[in-house]
Amino acid sequence: MANSIQKSEIKLSGISASPGICIGKAYLVDREGVDVIKRYRIPQADVQNEINRFKTAVKQAKTELNDIIANTPEGLQQHSDILQTHVVLLEDKMIFDRTVETINKDYVNAEWALKLVTSNVKSMFQNISDPYLKDRAGDIVQVSDRIMAHLVGVNSVRIADIDKRVILVAYDLSPAQTSQINLERIKGFVTVRGGITSHTSIIARTLGIPAVQGIGDATTRIQTDEIIIVDGSDGSVVLNPSEKTLVAYEERQHRFESFRASIARTSHRPAETRDGHRIKVMGNIEMPEQVVSVIDNGGEGIGLYRTEFQYLSRSQFPNEDELFDKYQDVVEVMQSAPVTIRTLDINGDKAIQNSNRTETNPALGLRAIRYCLQRPDVFQTQLKAILRASFFGDVRVLFPMISTYDELMASKAALQQTMADLDQAGIPFKHDVAVGVMIEVPSLAIMADMIAPEVDFFSIGTNDLIQYSMAVDRSNKDVAQLYNPLHPAILRMLKIVSDAAKKHATPLFMCGEMAGDPFNLPILLGLGIDELSMNPQTIPMAKNVIRALALSETQPFLEEVLKQTTAGEVENLTREAFGDIIDKAFSPE
Ligand code: PEP
Ligand code: MG
């Protein structure tokens, strides 16, 4: 069936970008062709012509993007924002001005100048260890590729014109290309570039089509019309599948689809344990357009709105109105459901473009609230925007990286001052907006009982809590084996926080990645966490696992867990006690 001369089966491994399985003919949409750029010298007299040639290419790219935005199908309208970002990036100083400057100064051809500028900007972004920000380099490259295509006269393949049922295989797919995907035709996709937080994978998950990214040699090993299998759940692609493999994957595909349908049917129901205990399951977002995914997956609110993205890839910070517009959008879409807006968490591994800081140890440096308290102008601008948005729904304010009582009091004082300013200006806002603190620095976890009376809720950020407790850089793969939420030191710290929350009746939430792994749920329920916030796609699975558990069994289980000495022992104990329940509720296998 696959090939008349059966080649041997090959399995390529990449990153799981969107779960699910698809089987079908590959369709190669592009190669990295435009990357082969020659450098040549431009006579001084022709420099202006060369600059004009570049400007024309930018203009053409803009027209092309605006056309795509205008023709984006209804259901994908939310992605227009991403494309709008690309329109803005087209004329961003980082690319536009610097390319013009390079042509002017070095007398080189526009293609070479653009390539040089892009690779500098790209490496600047890639030195940031935060994977989300790193992926933003992808936006710059895509914008540059688009201009380059016009400069060298290469037309990118129009995905919308594909008229067969295929699996796309590409070096990269831009959000613009991805948003042209017609679900009737495109079964899934495989790309060389990309990662779990890239826009392309965000869109694939929103569309619900299987996708694998990070397959280094996808475009060289896979050919158009070859039958391939894409397993977006484990991040693999099978080439030249045997009949036996095809049958096995068809069965898995069928099981996955009926499992997904059954989960989707229940995802809007509350997550209630077998013994009637209700846990709220919320979504984490970085950009307003992700709100749709939270709602579609049955999220009961936004447990964490990371606000850094808006401050990125621009030379000036956003003003109050720009921030307010985005916050208001999110709050209005969520209607009466809670929207937890976290104040700016920049620096550390999320260095911003207009910060010239060089810190020896940025994770321990002037990050998040520390930065905001030193820059009251930046802080107040954001607080004003958040408070103004609070008028339209159920907004909560969340302060990140607080490590001392004094910092918390200073942050609250800044909020009070902002409230007074708004009152004076007659601008409406919700005076009793809930104010919470991230528990993500060990010092605060340990003194949680002293902090509790000062806040309306705790939100545990395990990503940083683990990093700072275990002295392990959360983005360094070489020490990744030490980064384990089930380490007894972490669990003990969580117990301290949970006891303090109980003592003071402080609502206890968790928004770190630990909350999004269903394997951790028996422990989190045992700790009495009231609300869990996670990647929107995980919400239905988490709800499913919660429904299979009983709170009364997780409490004695937690006591046993706290007696263990290693993370491995905790894992074994969890598997013994709840392995079957979790497996059944979490996967179709
Ligand atoms: C955390 O630290 O757990 C958290 C949720 O915040 P971020 O990942 O944005 O640092
Ligand atoms: Mg954090």
pLDDT tens-digit readout, 471-485: 988 766 567 678 889
Per DSSP (E only), the strands in 469-539 are 508-510, 531-534
Among residues 16, 13, 14, 12, which one has the least CA distance to residue 205?
A: 16
- Relative to the CA of 459, which ligand 1 atom is closest? 5
- The angle at the Cα of 206, spanning 202 to 212, to the nearest 5 degrees, equals 55
Among residues 229, 237, 187, which one has the least CA distance to residue 212?
A: 237
Summarize the confidence of residues 131-150 as an average pLDDT. Answer: 77
Q: According to the model, what pLDDT value does residue 354 have? A: 47
pLDDT digits (tens, 9 = 90+) for 293-332: 899 899 999 999 999 878 865 668 899 999 999 999 999 9
Mutational test site, ligand 1, from 511, 517, 529, max ligand atoms within 8 Å of CB = 511
Q: According to the model, what pLDDT value does residue 146 have? A: 83
Q: Say whether 511 is catalytic.
A: yes
- Residue having the nearest C-alpha atom to atom 6 of ligand 1: 461
Averaged pLDDT score across all residues of the chain: 87
- Residue having the nearest C-alpha atom to atom 1 of ligand 1: 461
* Residues contacting ligand 1 via CB (< 6 Å): 304, 306, 345, 440, 461-464, 511-512
Which element (helix H / strand E) includes 342?
A: strand 338-342
- pLDDT surpassing 90 at residue 492: yes
Least confident of 96-105, 344-353, 356-365, 488-497: 344-353
Mutational test site, ligand 1, from 463, 468, 513, max ligand atoms within 8 Å of CB = 463
Q: According to the model, what pLDDT value does residue 154 have? A: 52
pLDDT digits (tens, 9 = 90+) for 513-529: 899 888 899 999 999 99
Ligand nearest to the CA of 460: 1
Mutational test site, ligand 1, from 402, 438, 473, max ligand atoms within 8 Å of CB = 438
- Residue having the nearest C-alpha atom to atom 7 of ligand 1: 463
CA dihedral 518, 519, 522, 528 (to 10 degrees): -60
Summarize the confidence of residues 203-227 as an average pLDDT. Answer: 83
- Residue having the nearest C-alpha atom to atom 4 of ligand 1: 461
Q: 29 — phi, psi (to 5°)?
A: -95, -25
pLDDT digits (tens, 9 = 90+) for 551-584: 999 999 999 999 999 999 999 999 999 988 887 7
- Relative to the CA of 511, which ligand 1 atom is closest? 5
Q: State the DSSP code for 73.
A: -
Q: Are 447 and 402 in contact (CB under 8 A)?
A: no
Q: Are 110 and 117 in contact (CB under 8 A)?
A: no
- Residue having the nearest C-alpha atom to atom 3 of ligand 1: 461
pLDDT digits (tens, 9 = 90+) for 253-289: 998 888 877 877 889 999 999 999 999 999 998 888 8
What whole-number distance in Å separates Cα of residue 86 and Cα of residue 72?
15
Distance 461 CA to ligand 1 centre (A): 5
Instruction: Give the three-class secondary structure for 350.
Output: strand
Name the most confidently modeled range: 91-95, 285-289, 346-350, 510-514. 510-514
Q: Are 305 and 285 in contact (CB under 8 A)?
A: yes
